[in-house]
Structure 1
Amino acid sequence: MAEKTVKGPASYFPSIEKKYGRPIAEWQELIRSSPLTKHMELVGWLKSEHGVGHGHANALVAATLAKGE
């Protein structure tokens, strides 16, 4: 049985958890609890307030918003 390759924003999750020391669920909860709603506003907020790199912030926001969370 072949392993399923993770694609899209979720492919960044292992490196996000390793680099920033927080589980993805915690990042998604932060995003959901933010008063901001637009993708790029949330990306900018993660970058400025939490020191997350652009690609990682973009992946977190995209995955969270795609789930309708």
Structure 2
Amino acid sequence: MVQLLNQIRTTAVAKGRKEGKEEGLKEGVKKKALETVQNALKLGLPVEQISILTGLTIEEIEIVKREL
């Protein structure tokens, strides 16, 4: 019984770590894309091109543009 509980706990911890890493990676990618948007806007690139380059929607880019 104790062995089973330890196995369940170990599995749960491993799953939690994996999900945490995946979430952190997604957040990091999004942050980098937003930084790229800011730089591209400062260079005067059209929003449509920035969308293609970053994978962000035009709406997301327009939000960043308003915040600059």
TM-score (norm: length of structure 2): 0.39
Higher helix share: 2
Q: TM-score, normalised by structure 1?
A: 0.38
Q: Which has the higher contact order (CA 8 A, sep 6+)?
A: 1
